[in-house]
């Protein structure tokens, strides 16, 4: 049951993160896959543990604001869905979304 709850939470966090302006996509982890696993399903880019929800993001480039500000906005969206857990944001990469200004 807890696995299902984690999966549900991870899905909600994924949606909230992707709905944040400036986020290009979710990352998949650098050294190990960052994902929450459930029966026959996994949510990549979100790792739910007992006391933390870790979100791996790829930010869009050029950045409209510094990374810490973007991370704060993501955290604001994610926190209400994190079930009281601390939200950790990991910016894995920057992905060019527009050639303007490059």
Partner 1 sequence: MRVFNRLVVVLLLAGLVALGISAFVYALDLGGHRLSSVPNTLGLSSAYEGLDNFTRNAEGGNLNPLDITVLVVVALFGLILLLFELFKRPVPRKVLMQQGTYVTRSTIENEANAAAEEVPEVLQSDVDVDAQRKSGAKVSVTANVRRGEDTSRLQSDVQERVQKRLAEVGVPVSSLKVRVLEADPRETKTRVK
- Contacts with partner 1, residue ranges (CB under 8 A): 30-31, 63, 66-69, 71-72, 75, 86-94
Q: Could you tell me if residue 29 is left (phi over 0), alpha (psi between -120 and 50 degrees) or otherwise beta? A: left
Smallest separation (angstroms) from partner 1 to the CB of 38: 25
Q: Which is nearer to partner 1, 9 or 71 (CB)?
A: 71
67-78 and 2-18 helices, crossing angle to 10°: 130
- How long is the chain? 102
35 or 87: whose CB is closer to partner 1? 87
Q: Which is nearer to partner 1, 26 or 87 (CB)?
A: 87
């Amino acid at each position: 049951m807890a696995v299902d709850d984690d999966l549900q939470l991870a899905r909600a966090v994924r949606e909230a993160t992707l709905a944040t302006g400036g986020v290009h996509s979710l990352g998949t982890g650098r050294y190990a896959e960052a994902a929450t696993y459930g029966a026959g399903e996994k949510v990549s880019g979100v790792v739910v543990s007992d006391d933390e929800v870790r979100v791996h993001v790829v930010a869009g480039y050029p950045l409209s604001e510094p990374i810490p500000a973007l991370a704060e906005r993501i955290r604001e969206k994610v926190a209400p869905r994190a079930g009281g857990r601390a939200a950790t944001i990991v910016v894995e990469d920057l992905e060019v979304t527009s050639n303007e200004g490059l």
